[in-house]
Chain A
Amino acid sequence: MVARIFAILAIAGFALIALPLVTELPPMEELTSLARTYVERTPDELGAANVVTAVIVTYRGLDTLGEVSVLFIATAGVGFLLRRQGPAVRSGGDGVPAEPENGPGQAPSEILATGARFLMPVVLLFGVYIFTHGHLTPGGGFQGGVIVASAMLLYFLSTPGGRVGHTALTLVESLSGASYVFLGVLGLVLAAGFLDNRLMPLGEFGRLFSAGAIPVIYSLVGLKVGAELSGILDHLRSREGDHA
């Protein structure tokens, strides 16, 4: 009961802090000068149509590198904690698990298996489309990577005993991460700064091969995110004999 009172107090305190956000912050009428600069300079300076992509990949590129590192560390944590290990030690009282009625060994239904076999390549292709066109249309490396991971999810669902080459996942993940940093340093050498996209020609505005290195960098981010999230899913799904 005391805990409940403290919870109410904490939420009341939060409401007190957040109230000015609602009452005193007027709705935006004009872009701030920073946002205006980004929007107006992106087409000529970077050649990208999607300003959000330009901000993520180039203007705040270092920030994105940090975010990708956080993602990598979280994935590594999941992999480290769920690595295959000896029999689990249990000392909890009634912690004996009930026999799962829907064990991981059960084969998926015909509809799921056939549908997943048909859809997985299409979804994979769609993911690649999303991250290669990140500078032109809504989308980019993060969204494309997530869609690639959901294609892998379809595979995991349709083949419960199926294995993924962990070497391949790790290879894709680390190679794309290393190339990301390498391209960043190359920007430092060939263009104005770290992760500057102008180390490649800007091309014609609105075409696929334009905006310098943005499509390349975002594709690398997409591969990296896709490999990492697939790794998380693969680690978390229960395998045969592993569900204790």
Chain B
Amino acid sequence: MTTALIVVLGVVMLVAAVFAVLHQQLVSAVIAAGVVSLSASVVYVLLAAPDVAMTEAAIGSALTTVVFLYALSRIRGAKGGSDGS
């Protein structure tokens, strides 16, 4: 059961990571990076590390994403800003 869940979460994380790297829209890429962190926090619970899971859930998926979006909103319209590399 646990192994199956970890396999599913791992696939989700890897797909989201590749999506974050390859996608042209920066906002979507940032959200995908947040998905990686959120899945990682569930994996931490399965690995019996609730302290780490709490930190990762609050920081990785909430604050990091918001910090990225704040920075994005400051540089909107830049060369390479919205249409990727």
Which residues of A are in contact with B by a Cβ distance under 8 Å? 50, 52-53, 92-100, 104, 130, 138-140, 142-143, 146-147, 149-150, 153, 229, 232-233, 236-238, 243
Contact = CB atoms under 8 A, between A and B. Distances in A.
Contacts of B77: 96-100
Contact of B62 (A53, A96, A153, A237): A153
A146 B59 contact: yes
A233 B55 contact: no
A243 B73 CA distance: 8
Interface in B24-78: 50-51, 53-55, 58-59, 62-63, 66-67, 70-71, 73-78
Nearest to A98: B77
B54 A139 contact: yes
A233 B63 contact: yes
B51 A93 contact: no
Contacts of A53: 51
3 shortest A-B CB distances, which residue pairs? A98-B77, A138-B50, A97-B77
Contacts of B75: 97
B62 A243 contact: no
B51 A143 contact: yes
Contact of B63 (A95, A100, A140, A146): A146
A100 B73 contact: yes
Interface of B: 50-51, 53-55, 58-59, 62-63, 66-67, 70-71, 73-79
Contact of A233 (B51, B59, B70, B73): B70
Contacts of A143: 51, 54-55, 58
Nearest to B58: A146
Given A92-B79, A98-B77, A236 B67 contact: yes
B58 A147 contact: yes
A236 B71 contact: yes
A74 B73 CA distance: 21
Contacts of B66: 153, 233
A128 B51 CA distance: 16
Contact of A50 (B51, B55, B59, B79): B51
Contacts of B70: 233, 236-238
Contacts of A50: 51
Contacts of A146: 55, 58-59, 63
Contacts of B55: 142-143, 146
A93 B79 contact: yes
Given A146-B55, A232-B67, A243 B74 contact: yes
Contacts of A140: 51
A153 B59 CA distance: 12
Given A52-B51, A229-B63, 13 more contacts: A94-B79, A97-B75, A99-B77, A100-B76, A138-B53, A139-B54, A142-B55, A150-B58, A153-B66, A233-B67, A236-B74, A237-B70, A238-B74
